[in-house]
Structure 1
Amino acid sequence: MVLVGEFFLAGDDESAVLVGPRNSHDFPAVPCDGIYPDDAVPRWEALLTGAESPLRHVVPMANDGFTVFAVPQTLSTALTSAGTDQLRRTALTWAETVSEMGDEFGPGSAVDLLERLSALAVSRAERGLNLYCWYFAP
């Protein structure tokens, strides 16, 4: 199980590589503890857009269980434009899928996460920043 992780905004890859579990930062962020974001992001993108983009790793996962990746632009845009009902349906479908695979992430928590991630994506667009995610899964 993932111990810690978060989606965050940064100006570029060089700034994004400085973020991690032991590195405090001032970037706007949304915690995503308890999930595997590199599995969730493609699923959310497929549910919201019907397509799936490959993840671009800024810090590839190594034996230490840490990674940083850029959230695909298509998902960032979809999160920005998605309505409340669409986000809710996506979150509930994803939560059900995760539960079927043996991981537990409650429907309410899933909706809250996607709503907060959507707000972060809107902020990304307004500020001209990029959306990234780091997580640590030992």
Structure 2
Amino acid sequence: MARIGEFFLARDDESALRVGPHRSHDFPAVPCDGIYPDDAVLTWEAQLTGAESTVRDVVPMANDGFTIFAVPEPLCMALAAAERDRLRATALVWTGAATELDDEISLENAVDLLQRLSALASSRVEKQLDLYCWYFAP
């Protein structure tokens, strides 16, 4: 099953509704193809904060396989503050769990994704934006 998506920064839920497959936008973004990001954020948050928040849907997944959700604030803060070693440890746990969920990501790509998300999460405060994710899993 092909999965495409991206994490992105947007002003609010209304702005976030402008994204999706085959829709261009100018929001800062990090692609996350090949994974189930809603499951991933729960694993990342558990590893980085020791807790697990509820993912808030902006567009709930329906039969078309498309969704947009807001990344929980505790995870945003933890990603922004995480150092490289912590992100690598999180990626290691996640890739172990991801193979059971049929996610297609190597440890190196998982570390790279988390590092880019960390940078995106860091920039959101100064830009006064929120972190969202959309993905499509037909």
CA distance in 1, matches of 2:98, 2:87: 16
In the alignment, what sits opposite 1:88? 88
Q: How far 1:102 moved relative to its partner?
A: 4.2
Task: Deviation per CA, 1:39-61: give whole Å up to 9, x if none.
Answer: 00011000000000001000011
Alignment partner, residue 97 of structure 2: 97
Please say if 1:112 is aligned against 2:104. Answer: no
- The percent of aligned pairs where both chains have the same amino acid is 68
1:72 corresponding residue in structure 2? 72
How large is the RMSD of aligned CA atoms in angstroms?
Answer: 1.1
Q: Distance in 2 between matches of 1:30 and 1:128?
A: 18
Work out the number of aligned pairs and report it: 138
Task: State the AA in 2 paired with 1:67.
Answer: T
Question: Within the alignment, does 1:5 sit opposite 2:2 as a pair?
Answer: no
Equivalent-residue separation in structure 1 for 2:131 and 2:84 (angstroms): 20
Partner in structure 1 of residue 50 of structure 2: 50
- Shifted more, 95-104 versus 76-85: the winner is 95-104
Deviation at 1:3, TM superposition (A): 2.2
Structure 2: 5+ residue stretches without partners: none
CA distance in 1, matches of 2:49, 2:122: 17
Where does structure 1 differ by over 3 angstroms across 4 or more consecutive aligned residues?
100-104
Q: Secondary structure at the match of 1:91?
A: helix
Residue 27 (structure 1) aligns with: 27
Secondary structure at the residue paired with 2:113? helix
Q: Provide the residue aligned with 2:134 in structure 1.
A: 134
CA deviation vs aligned residue, 1:75-125 (integer Å, no higher than 9, x gap): 000001111110110011101221244443100000000000000001112
- Asked if structure 1 preserves the Cα contact closer than 8 Å seen for 2:36 and 2:103, the reply is no
Q: Structure 1, unaligned stretches of length 5 or more?
A: none
Q: Could you tell me whether the CA contact under 8 Å between 2:3 and 2:36 is conserved in 1?
A: no
8 Å CA contact retained: 1:9, 1:27: yes
User: Following the alignment from structure 2 to structure 1, what is the Cα–Cα distance between the partners of residues 108 and 22?
Assistant: 28
| TM-score for both structures, normalised by structure 1 | 0.96
2:36 maps to amino acid: Y
CA change 1:41–1:2 in 2 (3 A) is farther
Residue-by-residue CA offset, 1:2-53 (whole Å, 9 max, x unaligned)? 4210000000000001110121100000000000001000110000000000
Letter in 2 for 1:33: D
